[in-house]
C-alpha cells in the first residue's frame, strides 16, 4: 500500500538535545511538508520541499532544520534552539490528481509524531 | 492573500442528527478546496476535494460538501452523524502556480452525544 510513514510515534527530548523525526513516503510525490500542531492552533507549516535537494522555510522554521537527499525521505531535526518543542508533528506529501488538466495537487498526511520534553 | 476561516471552533450534535460544518475561503482565483478529518492522536485523512465541475462533492464516510462561489464557502455536511464521527475537521484551500501550496483553517472539533 502506498502511504506516508512517520517514526517514532512518540519521542522524548532532553534539554539541549537535537532530535530527528523521520518521514518516508512511497507515493512518488515530489513535494513534502512538515507541520507542527498545538492544541487549538491548527496546523503551522515548518518547512516544505518541492523537489529533491531543495526546501523552503515555512511560517515557523526557527529552531528546526530539514534535508531532502532522497525523493522518498524528508527528515526533520528539532534543534536545541527550539525552546518549546512539545507538539504533534505531521509530515505530508502532495502529488497530482488523476483528472485531465488537473494542476492542483492533493496533500496526504502521515500518522504523526508526538514530541515531549523530559 | 489566501486564507481559510472555520467560524465554529467546537460543535456538539446528537447521534443521528444532521451536521453542517462551515468553511469560508479567501482566494483570488479558482479555488481548490479540501476537507480533512483528524481523530485524536492521528494524522489527517482526506474526506473529499473540489477542483471543478459539479459543486456538490461526495466524499468518504458519507460526507458531502457544497461549493458556493457567491458565498466563498465550502461547507461540509452529513445527513446522520455517527458516534465515530467525533473528531477534528479541517478545511483547506490549494493555491499557487505550482499547485502545491496549501492553506488550512484552524479546525472544528466535533463532539457527538449518544
pLDDT tens-digit series, residues B39-55: 999 999 999 999 888 89
Q: How many Cα neighbours within 13 Å face the side chain of B98? A: 10
Q: Which of A107, A110, A113 to mutate to test the interface with B (most CBs of B within 10 A)?
A: A107
**pLDDT > 90? residue A103:** no
Q: Which of A33, A50, A110 sits opposite B43 (nearest CB)?
A: A110
CA distances from A21 to A103, B37, B107 (A): 30, 23, 25
Q: What is the pLDDT along chain B (114 residues), one digit of tens a residue?
A: 789 999 999 999 999 999 999 999 998 777 899 999 999 999 999 999 998 888 999 999 999 999 999 999 999 999 999 999 999 999 999 987 677 889 999 999 999 999
**pLDDT > 90? residue A49:** yes
Give pLDDT, residue A39: 83
**Contact between chains at B45 and A41 (C-beta distance less than 8 A):** no
Amino acid at each position: 500500500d502506498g502511504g506516508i510513514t512517520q517514526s517514532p510515534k512518540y519521542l522524548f527530548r532532553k534539554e539541549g538535545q537535537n532530535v530527528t523525526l523521520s518521514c518516508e513516503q512511497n507515493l512518488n510525490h515530489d513535494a513534502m511538508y512538515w507541520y507542527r500542531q498545538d492544541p487549538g492552533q491548527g496546523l503551522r507549516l515548518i518547512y516544505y520541499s518541492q523537489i529533491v535537494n531543495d526546501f523552503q522555510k515555512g511560517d515557523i522554521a526557527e529552531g528546526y532544520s530539514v534535508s531532502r537527499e532522497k525523493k522518498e525521505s524528508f527528515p526533520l531535526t528539532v534543534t536545541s534552539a527550539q525552546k518549546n518543542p512539545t507538539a504533534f508533528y505531521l509530515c505530508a506529501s502532495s502529488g497530482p490528481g488523476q483528472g485531465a488538466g488537473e494542476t492542483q495537487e492533493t496533500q496526504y498526511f502521515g500518522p504523526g509524531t508526538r514530541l515531549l520534553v523530559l | 492573500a489566501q486564507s481559510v476561516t472555520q467560524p465554529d471552533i467546537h460543535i456538539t450534535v446528537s447521534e443521528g442528527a444532521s451536521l453542517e460544518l462551515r468553511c469560508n475561503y479567501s482566494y483570488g482565483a479558482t479555488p481548490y478546496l479540501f476537507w480533512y478529518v483528524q481523530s485524536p492522536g492521528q494524522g489527517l485523512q482526506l474526506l473529499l476535494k473540489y477542483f471543478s465541475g459539479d459543486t456538490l462533492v461526495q466524499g468518504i464516510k458519507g460526507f458531502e460538501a457544497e461549493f458556493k462561489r457567491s458565498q466563498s464557502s465550502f461547507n461540509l455536511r452529513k445527513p446522520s452523524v455517527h458516534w465515530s464521527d467525533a473528531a477534528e475537521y479541517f478545511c483547506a484551500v490549494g493555491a499557487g502556480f505550482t499547485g502545491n501550496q496549501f492553506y488550512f483553517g484552524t479546525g472544528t472539533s466535533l463532539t457527538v452525544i449518544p
